Structure 1
Amino acid sequence: MEENYQQDFIFGVDLDGVCADFYDGIRPLAAEWLGVDLETLTKEVSYGLPEWGIDKTPGGYLDFHKFAVTQRDLFKELKPINGCPQTLRRLSKAGIRIRIITHRLYIRYFHKQATSQTIDWLDKHGIPYWDLCFMQHKTHVGANIYIEDSEKHILEYQEAGSEVIIFTNSTNKDLIGLRAESWSDVETLVLEKYNAWSNSLKISK
């Protein structure tokens, strides 16, 4: 029997900066790439990491990112953000469909490493998911509610009328919207939306 996906409550989950501690993980690699002391690289960064000066090096951020993924297994070695795996396991057990939506395939010819490292990382940390979507235009992927840290994608979700939780970090601190400071906050917000959705289904029957 074909599964009725339309009866699922779907939580669209970004990876870098939301599940995986991207900025903390990439910082020592940036110090290595630049040949500088780690403490000279601020933790208060904005999108593209201009504070670290990578954009001014030959090849810019793209060459650095290629090095991090292909030579240092970046996506496999990142640490999960505190509470993320445990929260997603609880949400999944509660009946919520976890849909991973990430834009990790923006460097040509290195898709195999990015996808395999991503799958290995999710499995290693016991993160449940039914769907794994590598998408540049994240609004093309449906969900009842999303979580995101990138200013660009947050604004795209908001402009599309989608409900998105802003997972707070230094790259999005000035944005207005529904916010979570931790995965404990995420769990509370998502369960509230899920319970309201479940109740609306019961009323409609």
Structure 2
Amino acid sequence: MDRKVLDVDLDGVCADYTRAMADWLIRQGRLPAGRYPVPTTYEMTEADGWPFPDAADWLAAHTAAETDRLYARMPVIQGAPEALRELDRAGVDIRIVTHRLFVPGHHRLVVADTAQWLDDHDIPYRSLCFTGLKDSMHADLHLDDAPDIIMALRAAGEPTCVFDQPYNHDAPGLRIRRWDKEGVETLLRLLGV
């Protein structure tokens, strides 16, 4: 059987990076308890309510959070595991494609925590790829939330669906709003399954 390949991003699509980072900042005393800023731009340094005056401060906080097992503890985006299992049963090869290896010296921890998180949430996948060059990977369909990645994939002629987030409302084209029956049906339709 010829299975279709769906490239799926993790952070902002399956894993709630925003919530995980806010939880970590609350534990560090950098955000008040219960305060969860809603990013209106992809870069947290630009979004209202985040305690990062610049990109260097965000990177320092992210690096510390990574060391504190950020990727192993992230909340799952509601419905993602169930939807991905349904797609797998329908004959879709799920390839996880994430750009998490950007902090030197943390690669082993990040890869292990990512694999642990996927196993803990029973998310099926055939391949696990760590790359920032997602537009160099061919797939029948890509699902991502990052506006710059979406634009790069489309510029490369790769079929791309947007996973809806407050910071990507300006990204044109097809999107799914959540991991529900309608979202799964949309992805299956786009894949021709």
Answer whether TM exceeds 0.5 for this pair. Answer: yes
Q: Would the aligned equivalents of 1:20 and 1:79 in 2 still touch at CA under 8 Å?
A: yes
CA distance in 1, matches of 2:162, 2:79: 16
Shift of 1:34: 5.7
Out of 40, 50, 53, the residue aligned to residue 51 of structure 2 is 53
Residue of structure 1 equivalent to 2:6: 11
1:152 pairs with 2:148: yes
Amino acid paired to 1:193: L
* Segment drifting more, 94-103 vs 175-184: 175-184
Same amino acid, percent of matched pairs: 30
Q: Would the aligned equivalents of 2:31 and 2:51 in 1 still touch at CA under 8 Å?
A: no
Out of 62, 67, 71, the residue aligned to residue 70 of structure 1 is 67
1:181 pairs with 2:177: yes
Q: Would the aligned equivalents of 1:33 and 1:64 in 2 still touch at CA under 8 Å?
A: no
Residue of structure 2 equivalent to 1:30: 25
Per-residue CA deviations over 1:14-52 (Å, capped at 9, x if unaligned) read: 000000011112112223446331455522342221231
Shift of 1:156: 0.6
Q: Compare CA radii of gyration and give the structure with the larger one.
A: 1
CA distance in 2, matches of 1:9, 1:181: 22
Shift of 1:142: 1.7
From the two aligned structures, give the one with the greater helix fraction: 1
Q: Would the aligned equivalents of 2:39 and 2:166 in 1 still touch at CA under 8 Å?
A: yes
- Structure 2 unaligned blocks of 5 or more: none
1:90 pairs with 2:86: yes
Q: For 2:83, what is the secondary structure of its paired residue?
A: helix
- Structure 1 unaligned blocks of 5 or more: 199-205
Q: For 2:37, what is the secondary structure of its paired residue?
A: coil
* Segment drifting more, 168-177 vs 81-90: 168-177
RMSD across aligned positions (CA): 1.9
Q: For 1:54, what is the secondary structure of its paired residue?
A: coil
CA distance in 1, matches of 2:53, 2:104: 19
* Segment drifting more, 38-47 vs 177-186: 38-47
Per-residue CA deviations over 1:145-192 (Å, capped at 9, x if unaligned) read: 010001110111111121111111111111111111111233111211
Q: Would the aligned equivalents of 2:22 and 2:35 in 1 still touch at CA under 8 Å?
A: no
CA distance in 2, matches of 1:186, 1:122: 20
Q: For 1:146, what is the secondary structure of its paired residue?
A: strand
* Segment drifting more, 126-135 vs 156-165: 156-165
Q: For 1:65, what is the secondary structure of its paired residue?
A: helix
